[in-house]
Each structure stands twice: as structure tokens, then as C-alpha cells.
Amino acid sequence: MEPFTNDRLQLPRNMIENSMFEEEPDVVDLAKEPCLHPLEPDEVEYEPRGSRLLVRGLGEHEMDEDEEDYESSAKLLGMSFMNRSAGLRNSSAGYRPSAEGACSVPSARTLVVCAFIIVVAVSVIMVIYLLPRCTFTKEGCHKQNQSIGLIQPLATNGKLFPWAQIRLPTAIMPQRYELSLHPNLTSMTFKGSVTILLQARQATWNIILHSTGHNISRVTFMSAVSSQEKQVEILEYPYHDQIAIVAPEALLAGHSYSVKIEYSANISSSYCGFYGLTYRDENNKRKYFAATQFEPLAARSAFPCFDEPAFKATFIIKIIRDEQHTALSNMPKKSSVSMEDGLVQDEFSESVKMSTYLVAFIVGEMRNLSEDVNGTLVSVYTVPEKIGQAHHALETTVKLLEFYENYFEIKYPLKKLDLVAIPDFEAGAMENWGLLTFREETLLYDNTTSSVADRKLVTKIIAHELAHQWFGNLVTMQWWNDLWLNEGFATFMEYFSLEKIFKELYSYEDFLDAQLKTMKKDSLNSSHPISSSVQSSEQIEEMFDSLSYFKGASLLLMLKTFLSEDVFQHAVILYLHNHSYASTQSDDLWDSFNEVTNKTLDVKRMMKTWTLQKGFPLVTVQRKGTELFIQQERFFSGRKPEIYPVDASYLWHIPITYVTDGRNYSEYRAVSLLDKKSDIINLTEQVQWVKVNTNMTGYYIVHYADDDWAALITLLKTNPYVLSDKDRANLINNIFELAGLGKVPLQRAFSLMDYLINENQTAPIAEALFQTGLIYDLLEKLGHMDLASRLVSRVHKLLQSQIQRQAWTDEGTPSARELRSALLEFACTHSLENCTTTAMKLFDDWVASNGTYSLPTDVMTTVFKVGAKTEKGWSFLLSMYISIGSEAEKNKILEALASSEDVRKLYWLMKSSLDGDIIRTQKLSQVIRAVGRHFAGHLLAWDFVKENWNKLVQKFHLGSYTMQSIVAGSTHLFSTKAHLSEVQAFFESQSEATFRLRCVQEALEVIQLNIQWMEKNLKALACCL
């Protein structure tokens, strides 16, 4: 899946220390485990198993009759240990020392025994009290008085539910699903039936699977031997979205069975599951459309299934639709049969073996463009009137499909590959096997209104979803704790493939930008290892964050650079070949690398230091003669030792790369591995300067000794192009991050930035604008207008000649065009260099032509923003927003509408996005972020989020990346204690699960850091600006 990119990259600001955030007490911090055991979910005690063992250890043979009854009935029901422990606990009086007055004659032996028993009893109580609270309910800990129900789950009919864990048992494995659906898009309901062919791995009486929101009318069971259908009972346990089918006979290991479930349900009005939407066509006629989004946990709401990624099976899907609609699914259509009332039933071929979250189907009016690629029919589908915007996507897909088939040395296994633009879609895109779904803006390209940034976005997202056809679909992570295996790889391949076949797009600039912002997030205490234990739906949703995507991808880039491109590719091919149609854990990937490196390097040992520890290292270097002294410690966004303790157990295996005046870029791959706290690198000769972490291929920040910083600053000022643009951007980033911490004087960071007067490339200028923009935003919100304008003047002086050089056209390389966008946006935002006059003139021409005048696409947003400042301009933009068909143009208009300084307009925009009629709800998080960024709207955005919190959660789900984006976007520029208390109080007043969300903890940490940054640096700013 691809979270919507515009949101994804705007990660919150954290510049300073934190004085209040402790480690979350129950989050397992693997970094603190010196031996770095990968903690798999199976190893985590989510049931009070400990209590049972302790009790049984004391007196298993003493079990009384009630317990024995319980024990045998539990066995019969196939219950887990947990249920039995509850039974035992209820009758645990038998184990208490008071029973026979055993302590009344206190011999030494008795005292020891009593003491032992008391310790055990206290342990039992603590284990029972502590362990199960937060893991057994979907909603987390806020449900009170449910302890009995939680320990001993009861089905909705009051009977005992025979399974108490969130994860499904593995006694029964699905082999094949036959799913028939009949949706009614106007009544928003559907009827379904699913027949699941099963195989028992172990003897059991129960079939436990997922189902949520279904009215189940009939369930039948059939064993392969008897082939006689029997109606059977079903138990429902909604807390875990589970149902249990109680079989009429014991299921025997190795035997096959089938169950058929008939049900009905509502088509969802949120963005997940099987969901419905309406849109208006070019004649303003209302049209109905239905699509699916199952990742991560919503397949279970469309049909009863074993909804975990490792339960792979094949799928045969049948859909009944209206004649004028098209139905699509993962596989090619096998047959269409006309039925009564103008209905048609489409049947799709049996799928390859795959996970439930990759199943997809779509029903609606669509047209397509197609092309054959080595026997695979590639098609791009859109609503009929937008098919003219599908050419770019088709061309791009054809090139990328060929690239991936060659690179992975595995042919794409299906006969067709559809890419569909959905009129309302929460994510950026989704990689369903053979049926990729996208927002319209991430798939469609309009020649007259799409900018170079839009072109990059569409190309990148197609590359990402196509990479998933191998990473994720063919080889899938076993469980969501290793989501990074899917998303980190797809993100890495997205940029890698663009570098190879669309080199002219300079996509590395975007990667660098995303990597730097991800590190900002990863330096917070609220961060997490990319392989993290997860169980609840919120925890799983929370894994879809920039760490899984960009930290994952950055680590792979670091590994590729370290091992060489060939070795990396060999290992990747081996991994895909070894695990096709199966599921893996991180270790399987590292094993493939180790097979290729053939013991010359233990890749598993090295990479575990990166995937199982949160954060990243700060590498400090000091040059002494021809020696380079290097040492590592964890990089924290704050320095207060009571909050960010120096923890010696953090240690990474870091590939150290560097360039010097005597060692050019072609040699930089000859790296050394820093796998201890400190080391010395012999530079072999005296050098003038050294730049470590060449091209920022390493996931770490570098701090230099004073003289070494001075040498680099001198180099930048005298001969900047000796260093690559990536290295120049990297230096700007590192020095500002270090200055925020007080490790480098702020003055020195500004002094380094002064070289920008000679800079003409995009990456370093973009990074400088980002760093100074954050400082500006905070100063402005705190009312330090004098300092804010001095900051703008300083940056303006550096970029003045570059700004003056820009023409208002779409000419130049993609990189030059993006630079133009950034510079003119900066100039117009701060009314510099006649920028607004030129923009206003272009806007007036555009209005006079009734929106038909062709504006340069790269500066369109800037022109619209200037136009939106007037009442008339804003209204015209809104009327255009409603009437035009290009999503690319609509996005630019929406950005401009949200930049208004009129709070009534801003409030209306947010409210309309939530309503979803004029502005689609898929745009809401983007609108809230845009409103929250500007002075006029930053308080309003937060008020809006508070007021509508319940509606937002209902629509987007707690923990989802959209909610993460909304929370961050509405709070990340607060920098006062009053706001900190206010945000904290609001989330505390919600459920405990809400308050514990990582994005909430992150928001509080960021505000705290903003406050401290200002306290510490305001004076320094006054001096150096």
C-alpha cells in the first residue's frame, strides 16, 4: 500500500529536548536486549499462560473435581491454556495457605514453604492483573469490568467461545475460497456466500476464522469422506472479529473439509472493506461505484476468512452486477452469464495462492486502455470521461513491468494486470494482486495541468505497487510486525527502478528528502524498531508509517551500497525464488543474503542492529593527522539525560563511507564497518577535509570536530561542487539537527548555509528551505515577527540571484523545474522580487479566459495561492474546483483555497471535506494539514480535529496513517505549554487506547521539543540573524 504521499512526507518538527516522555511501560524495547533477539509475536505472552503454569506447577495432581471437569470440557472444546487458567483461578482457593491452617505451626520448613507460596500467589495475581488487560479487546484498555469475559470469552449467544487469542489457531488451514457476491450499489447492501475448502493440520473440533459485520444466515459443513452437507452451529466473538464453527465431528489431521457460509452485510461507507461511493459524471449525473481496500484487516468485513497474511489460499470469485457496470477482480474473467432482471454474473479464474488482504474486486462504469507485455495484458481503467488521462500510466507500467521481470528474474505470474483509478480512495494506492487500485491523482496524468511533480508522483506510485507484485504478493511477510519487508522493499524498488529507467526524473532528490524527514521522526523517543511486535488492530494500523516505508528503504540502500549492486541483486533473486507463494520473516531475507555473501559477512547480525533497535546512530568523527577517530552513540532529538538516557547497549554495525580531497567519489564504496563503540580509520595521507556518509547512503547523522566542520564550511564556500548535491544537502541537514541540540552553535549552521549563494541544485536548496521554514513557522506562530522577517531576509539574500533567474515557464529538466517551483513559492509567500505581481497577472489572465488559459504547471499552485488572496479570486477558484475534471489541477486549487487567511473559508473547507460532497473526504487530511500550517488556520485546524474526533475515527480508523497525519498536521507547530496541556488533556479524555497511540505520544513529544527549542535558541537567533 502507498499512503498518500503529500501527507506522508510532511513529518513533524522535532528540534529539541524532551522533559516528560518516558518509555511506554509495556512496549517491548528490543534495543534494550543486549543480544537482540527478534521477538516474534508467538513469543510474546499475550495470555496469562504464566499464571496457569505457576498454579499447575504447585499442584497439578491436586486438582479438585470442578477443575477436572473444567479441564476435560476445555479439552473437548479445544480451548487454549488461557481459558483453563481462568477456571483454575476461580477455584484457586485450594492452593492458598489458609486452607488447612498450614501456617499455624510455623516450623522453619513451613515458613519457607509459606513464603514460597505467598511469592507465587503474588506473582500469579500480578501476572493475571498485568498481562491481559490491553490485549484482549479490540478497543484496548478502556473497557471496564470485562475481566471475566476477557479471560474466558463468551460468544454473543452466551456460550463459551473456544478461542481467546487475537491470532488465529493454525490447526486448520484454508486451501481454496469460492466467493459469490451480489452487491446492490444503491441500497449499499450485498449478499454473499463463501465456500472454504479446509485442511486440518491437527485434530480439533473447532474452525476459528474472521468475520465482522455479517448477518450469517446459514452455515453448512461437509467432510471430504462423507460428502454430506450438515448444518452446523456458529459462535460469534466480535471483540476479536472471530467466529467459531463447531464441527459435527472431530476434524482429523491431514483430512480435508469444507464449510459454506451464507450471509448478508452492508457495503461500507468508510474507506475499507467492500466500500461504496458515488460521484457525478460530466453531465452531473450521480453514479454508483464500489471497490475494496482490505489491507490490513478488512477482508474479514467482506467475507468470512482466515484474515492473516500467512494463511494463503486460492480464490474463485463470482460477482453479480448490473449490465452497464464492469466488474474486475484479481484474475482474468472466465465467463459472464446473463441472469434475470438485466443482471450479469461474472466468474473470474482461480487465483494463484495468496493472502486475503490482496483480494480485490471493483464494480462500476469504467473504460480502459490496454497493451500486451510478454503475454500479460496490462490495462488502465478509469471512469469513462477520464480515460484520456490514462496514457502516461499505461506507458509507465509497460516499462516498469519489463524492468522488474528482468531484475527479479521471475516473470509476473498472472495473465493480466489492471490499474484502476478509483474516484474516492483513502490510500495513495494498493497493490492487490493483478488489480492495482489508485486515487485518480496518483494514476492519471493530464498533459495541460499535471506538473513535473505530478508526473513523478504517478511514476513513483506505479513503480511502488508493481514492486509489490513480487515483494508482498509473491513473497509475503508472515505477520504485520515485519510490514517493512513489504513496504521498505517496495519503497526501495520504487526509487531504484526510477533511477534505472527514468533517470531524468532525479527521483533520488525525493528519496533524500523523505529519508531526512523519516530520521527526524525516528530520533524521537516515541519511535519504534521497524520490526516491532504488534497484535491489536491499532498497533497493526500504526505500522503503516514512514519508518516502515522509508527507514526500511534507507536500510536496504545502505546494504546495497555496502555489498555492491550485484551481490544485492543476487540475494534478492534468491530470496524471491526460495519463498515464492510463501510467507517470510526478516531472518529469511538475511539468510538469503548470507548465502550469497558466503560467510564473508554476517548480514543478519549486522542488519538486526538496524531493524530491532529504534532510532539511529550519531557518528562523531575527529581527524588527527592521518587518522580519523570515529565513535557512535544513539542520536536523540533531545539532550536531557533523564529523558534521553545514555544507553550503552545501543550499538549499530555501521558502514562508514567517506570522501576527502585525496579520495574521490568513485572510490567511496570501499567502506569500513564500525561494529563497536569507537574505532580509528587510517586515511593514509594528510587531507584538507573529510566528508563522512558519502551521498548519504548511510542511515546516520555525522558530527565533526570543530576544525573538521570549519574545513567543510570553507570547502563549501570556496569550491562547493567538489561535493555531490546529496552531500551538500546532507551537511545542511546534519548541522541544523546538531544545532537544534546545541552540539553545534546555531551561528555555525547559518554560516555553513551562507554558501548557498553559489548553489544551483535542487536538493541542497530544498533542504535549506525546509530547515529554515520550520524555524520560520515556529517564530511566526509565537508572534516573533521581527525575527521571522529577518530570517526570510537572510535566506532571500542567499537565493536572490537564483530567484531572479527563474522564468515562469515549464522549461528545463525535471529537477530545474522543481527548483523553480520551490523558489517562486518562497518568493511569492514572502512577497519578494515582484513575485506576487507577476503571479497576479498570470492569475488575472487565467480568470479572464475562464480557466482555459494554459498556465505553466510547475508554478500553477503559486499563481493560484496569490489569486486566492482576494475574495473574487477565491470564489472563482472554488467554482473551477467544482467544475473541472483534472485531479492534478484540483489539487493545486485546493492547496490555494486552504492558504486563505479568512478563517471562515478555512472552516468551510474542512467541514466540506468531512461532508465529502463538494470536496471528497479523501482530501481531508491534506486540507487539515494545509490549514494547520498557516498562521490563520493553525488553531482552527486543531479545534476542528477536536470537535470532529469521533467522526474522523469512524471514517479513518484509530491508528491509520490518515489519522496519524491529521494528528501531526494539526499539532506539530504548537510550541507553548498551554497548547501542550491542551493537547494532552484532550487525548487523555479519550479512550486509553487513543492516548496510547504512537502518533499522540509523538505529537506531545514534538510540542515539548518545540517549546524547548525556542527557550534555548531564541537568543541565539536574535544574534545570528
Q: Which of residues 529-558 bind Zn ion (CB under 5 A)?
A: none
Report how far residue 904's alpha carbon sits from residue 906's, in angstroms, rounded to the nearest whole number: 5
Q: Which helix (H) or strand (E) holds 436?
A: strand 435-439
The least CB distance from residue 575 to Zn ion, in Å, is 18
State whether residue 460 is helix, strand or coil: helix
The least CB distance from residue 574 to Zn ion, in Å, is 22
Report how far residue 522's alpha carbon sits from residue 451's, in angstroms, rounded to the nearest whole number: 31
CB nearer to Zn ion: give 550 or 704: 550
Q: Does 1 bind Zn ion (CB under 5 A)?
A: yes
CB nearer to Zn ion: give 89 or 517: 517
Q: What type of residue is 516?
A: L
On the 0-12 / 13-18 / 19+ scale of CB atoms within 10 A, 666 is exposed
The least CB distance from residue 472 to Zn ion, in Å, is 7
For residue 383, what is the DSSP state? -
The least CB distance from residue 487 to Zn ion, in Å, is 5
Contact region for Zn ion (CB under 5 A) — 1-9, 131-139, 377-385, 403-411? 1-9
Q: What type of residue is 601?
A: L
The least CB distance from residue 464 to Zn ion, in Å, is 5
State whether residue 445 is helix, strand or coil: coil
Q: What type of residue is 645?
A: P
The least CB distance from residue 467 to Zn ion, in Å, is 8
Report how far residue 243's alpha carbon sits from residue 336's, in angstroms, rounded to the nearest whole number: 33
Kindly state the cell numbers that stand for 572.
534478492
Interface map 675-714 toward Zn ion (x if CB under 5 A): ----------------------------------------
* Count of residues of this chain found to bind Zn ion when the rule CB under 5 A is applied: 4
Contact region for Zn ion (CB under 5 A) — 455-463, 483-491, 585-593, 902-910? 483-491
Contact 194, 303 (CB under 8 A): yes
675 backbone dihedrals φ, ψ, rounded to 5°: -115, 15
Contact 570, 560 (CB under 8 A): no
The least CB distance from residue 289 to Zn ion, in Å, is 23
The least CB distance from residue 838 to Zn ion, in Å, is 40
Kindly state the cell numbers that stand for 634.
544513539
Contact region for Zn ion (CB under 5 A) — 19-27, 41-49, 480-488, 592-600? 480-488
Contact 256, 907 (CB under 8 A): no
Q: Does 181 bind Zn ion (CB under 5 A)?
A: no
CB nearer to Zn ion: give 487 or 825: 487
The least CB distance from residue 572 to Zn ion, in Å, is 17
Report how far residue 739's alpha carbon sits from residue 731's, in angstroms, rounded to the nearest whole number: 12
CB nearer to Zn ion: give 2 or 708: 2
Q: How far, CA to CA in Å, does 551 sit from each of 31, 517, 698, 724, 966?
A: 16, 10, 11, 22, 21
Q: Are strands 234-237 and 242-251 parallel, antiparallel or unpaired?
A: antiparallel
Report how far residue 527's alpha carbon sits from residue 643's, in angstroms, rounded to the nearest whole number: 14
On the 0-12 / 13-18 / 19+ scale of CB atoms within 10 A, 421 is buried
CB nearer to Zn ion: give 2 or 833: 2
Candidates 463, 490, 563, 888: give the one binding Zn ion (CB under 5 A): 490
Across-strand partners of 679? 630
CB nearer to Zn ion: give 151 or 463: 463
CB nearer to Zn ion: give 490 or 828: 490
Sequence-distant (≥ 6) Cβ neighbours of residue 110 within 8 angstroms: 102, 103
For residue 448, what is the DSSP state? T
**What is the DSSP secondary-structure string of 626-658?**
TEEEEEEEE--S---TTTS---TT----EEE-E
State whether residue 831 is helix, strand or coil: coil
CB nearer to Zn ion: give 484 or 864: 484
The least CB distance from residue 2 to Zn ion, in Å, is 5
CB nearer to Zn ion: give 2 or 347: 2
- Minimal CA–CA distance to 478: which of 311, 625, 344? 311
Q: Distance from CA of residue 928 to its chain's centroid?
A: 19
Sequence-distant (≥ 6) Cβ neighbours of residue 978 within 8 angstroms: none
Q: Is 465 a catalytic residue?
A: yes
The least CB distance from residue 158 to Zn ion, in Å, is 42
CB nearer to Zn ion: give 1 or 765: 1
Interface map 795-834 toward Zn ion (x if CB under 5 A): ----------------------------------------
Kindly state the cell numbers that stand for 288.
454508483
CB nearer to Zn ion: give 181 or 466: 466
Q: Which helix (H) or strand (E) holds 819?
A: helix 814-829
- Minimal CA–CA distance to 556: which of 506, 523, 504, 592? 592
Tell me how long the chain is: 1025
The least CB distance from residue 696 to Zn ion, in Å, is 23
Q: Which of 295, 465, 767, 889 is catalytic?
A: 465
Residues 430, 435, 441, 444: is their CA dihedral positive or negative? positive
The least CB distance from residue 489 to Zn ion, in Å, is 9
Interface map 440-479 toward Zn ion (x if CB under 5 A): ----------------------------------------
Tell whether omega for the bond before 296 is within 30 degrees of 0, i.e. cis: yes
Q: Does 606 bind Zn ion (CB under 5 A)?
A: no
Contact region for Zn ion (CB under 5 A) — 486-494, 708-716, 836-844, 961-969? 486-494
Contact 347, 334 (CB under 8 A): yes
Across-strand partners of 281? none
CB nearer to Zn ion: give 31 or 555: 555
CB nearer to Zn ion: give 70 or 294: 294
Report how far residue 754's alpha carbon sits from residue 261's, in angstroms, rounded to the nearest whole number: 69
Report how far residue 293's alpha carbon sits from residue 426's, in angstroms, rounded to the nearest whole number: 9
Report how far residue 650's alpha carbon sits from residue 588's, in angstroms, rounded to the nearest whole number: 24
Sequence-distant (≥ 6) Cβ neighbours of residue 89 within 8 angstroms: 51, 55, 124, 128, 151
Interface map 2-31 toward Zn ion (x if CB under 5 A): x-----------------------------
Contact region for Zn ion (CB under 5 A) — 154-162, 258-266, 489-497, 967-975? 489-497
> Using CB under 5 A as the criterion, which residues of the chain lie in contact with Zn ion when the complex forms?
1-2, 487, 490
- Annotated catalytic residues are 465
